[in-house]
Structure 1
Amino acid sequence: MTTKKINLKKVLPVLMASLLMGFADIVGVATGYIKKDFGLGDDLAQLIPFMALVWFFLLSVPAGILQDKYGKRTMLNIGMGLLGVGMLVPFFHYSFPVMLLAMILMGIGNTIVQVSANPLLMDVLPKERFSSFMSLSQFIKAISSLLGPIIATFAAIQFGEWKLVFAIYAITSLIAVGWLYFT
């Protein structure tokens, strides 16, 4: 049995997209902080996760169609870019409506990332290694999801600003876009 060599220069940027997939899970922690910051009731605060998550329902199929038209790598970069822009928005103005806009951008970006990353991973790996790398990508996503609340809490305690988690995520997202673009 022959095994094809894995090209890490192509695989690693796609695996970094798995890291970004976990970033959207910050919506849970962010909801609590935003609710507190703006004195929101439970009913209004629930708009925050809704604005981030409704896009999976609305855009998964259209994103797949666009992926077929424009390519997996292009769509993955668009998704990671939107995710990064959504993370930057709170630094220009911090208000409840602006945070809803940020969540919309993050939700759309994350939907595109989730639609595009796995098929692109399949393209850059030998078929016999795909399932093990899919498991690795899910592990990376889980670690990323776990780190969000830790980073937000650390930023709140050390710097008095929980929103710094968005800066860290935005920088990481933009690095991922550049890395994939130049690969």
Structure 2
Amino acid sequence: MSASTHHPQPVQLRKAPLSMLVPVMASFFVMGFVDLVGTATNFAKTDFGLSDTLSNTFTTMVFFWFLILSIPAGLLMNHIGRRMTVLLSIAITALACLLPVIGYMTSLRTLQLTMIIISFCLLGIGNVFMQVSLNPLVGNLAHDKKLAGTLTFGQFVKAIASFIAPLIASWAANAFGRWWLLYPIYLVIAIVVFALLAFDHIHENPPDEGRTSIPRCLSLLSDSVILLCFIGIVCHVGIDVGINTTAPRILSESTNMALESAAVATSVYFAFRTIGCLAGSVLLQRLSLKSMLRLCSVLLTAGCACLIVFCSIPHMPVWLAMTGIGLLGLGDCNVFSIMLTTALLHRPERQNEISGLMMMGLIGGAIFPPLMGLASDGLGMQLGAVLVLTLGAAFIVLMSVFFKQYRVKE
């Protein structure tokens, strides 16, 4: 992919009518609702007195569904279309935001915890359908080499929802003693976005060629490029969800900072991820996928190094942890778009199936946090969690080093 073939992102975005573009980009905001699981997990941990290992399994309830529903969601999308699948996902996400409100309006702690757990499951189910359908829907607005930049712009919009979630929860906790007021706010937004997209009209690409099936989708993993991109997404999401969940604990463990105040660490992560997505939407129009992935790898390596030092040595300054968290946000934010674009352009005739298969990689959000919880409980410190994150970052670094060997063409 040469720089001469690229044009600035704004030119590409203007090719789609504003009335068509806004609902699609707003849907990325709803996609970001899934990241409130990190904030909700930390507050629920305090509310119900849970251990790191047990509370981290909440994220498994969210991301487990990517393992079993991603391919079926891709098959469904092939039948009902991409926009209808996105609408279904928004409806499920709205229900996920409603249930905790019902639970916390009562004084029954068992009901509150039950509603939180069901909400996490529905957030995961809704996000499966959203991730599988919204990314290829963007393919109707941007094509071929413009796809990575446009997907990253969507991730920028998604990151805004992720960034403000802990801020809203902390504000609600400090002002009203009710962190869960985050849920009704996001519920209203989901309803508005559903209405916008319901009246949107997008000319969709035709369904995938041939008869689609689960075995046919899974057979794509025999392609080395598809397999490596799949594992890359597993590691990307594991890092993303892992640091989202663990960042406040890293601060509070070493500084004795209250959880409500330590939640700023999550906001720092998402702030830098938001900046990184915006910058990436421009850089991916000018740099090759290989160059961009290597830049991401450098940032991830530096971020992990900062957190390892912070967790290993007592009395290290807070800015070192914040620097590490910020570098992870910058480094990880564009990995998803690079992996997905590499896979989609590698086999363009099977994009719906590949989208469903790649979204199975979001199971990384269910794999990494429990391992991080076990490691931190085992070592008695958050260093264990950081070391698990470092393993995921190491795979992405290796992918960037050997990109030319497995990437057939750019």
Q: Which residue of 1 aligns with 2:40?
A: 30
Contact preservation (8 Å) 2:89, 2:126:
yes
Measured after TM superposition, the shift of residue 41 of structure 1 is 2.7
Distance in 2 separating the partners of 1:121 and 1:110: 16
Q: 2:130 aligns with which of 113, 137, 143?
A: 113
**The one of 166, 176, 179 aligned to 1:159:** 176
Does the 8 Å CA contact 1:155/1:164 hold for their aligned counterparts? yes
On the 8 A contact 2:31/2:130 being kept in 1, the answer is yes
Please list, as runs of the form range in 1=range in 2, the aligned pairs for 1:12-31 lying within 5 A after superposition: 12-31=22-41
Q: Which residue of 1 aligns with 2:294?
A: none
Matches within 5 A, 1:24-63: 24-63=34-73
Identity between Structure 1 and Structure 2 (%): 36
2:186 counterpart of 1:169: yes
SS of residue in 2 equivalent to 1:171: helix
Unaligned runs of 5+ in 1: none
The aligned counterpart of 2:236 is none
Distance 2:143 2:41 in 1: 40
> Do 1:11 and 1:121's aligned partners in 2 also have CA atoms closer than 8 Å?
no
User: Which one-letter code corresponds to 2:156 in the other structure?
Assistant: F
Contact 2:101 2:181 in 1 (8 A): no
Of residues 61, 64, 86, the one that matches 2:74 is 64
Contact 1:18 1:140 (C-alpha < 8 Å) held by counterparts:
yes
Q: Larger relative CO (CA 8 A, sep 6+): 1 or 2? A: 1
1:73 aligns with 2:83: yes
Q: 1:103 corresponds to which letter in structure 2?
A: F
Structure-1-length-normalised TM-score: 0.91
**Equivalent residues of 1:48, 1:100 under 8 A apart:** yes
**Residue type of the alignment partner of 1:160:** G
Contact 1:26 1:145 in 2 (8 A): yes
Three-state SS of the structure 2 residue aligned to 1:51 is: helix
Cα deviation 1:126-154 (Å, max 9, x = unaligned): 53754432221111122221111111111
Superposed displacement of residue 7, structure 1 = 1.2
Contact persistence 2:61–2:120 (CA under 8 A): yes
Instruction: Tell me the distance in 2 between the aligned counterparts of 1:138 and 1:5.
Output: 19
Please give the TM-score of this superposition, normalised by the length of structure 2.
Answer: 0.42
Offset at residue 53 of structure 1 (A): 1.2
Aligned residue pairs: how many?
Answer: 180
Residues 84 and 170, structure 1, Cα contact 8 Å, conserved in 2: yes
Cα distance in 2 for residues equivalent to 1:161 and 1:139: 28
Contact 1:14-1:121 within 8 A present in 2 as well: yes
What do the CA deviations read for 1:123-181 (whole angstroms, capped 9, x no partner)?
2x153754432221111122221111111111111222100111111111111111101
Shift of residue 106, structure 1, vs aligned partner: 0.7
SS at match of 2:97: helix
SS in 2 for 1:46: helix
- Which whole-Å CA distance do the structure 1 matches of 2:114 and 2:50 have between them? 12
- The correspondence of residues 89-104 of structure 1 with structure 2, limited to 5 A, is 89-94=99-104, 95-104=112-121
> 1:127 corresponds to which letter in structure 2?
H
Confirm whether residue 127 of structure 1 aligns to residue 137 of structure 2: no
C-alpha separation in 1, matches of 2:76 and 2:52: 36
Aligned AA for 1:159? F
Structure 2 unmatched runs, 5+ = 1-11, 105-111, 201-410
Q: Is the 8 A contact 2:36 2:166 kept in 1?
A: yes
Q: Distance in 1 between matches of 2:17 and 2:136?
A: 16
Larger Rg: 2
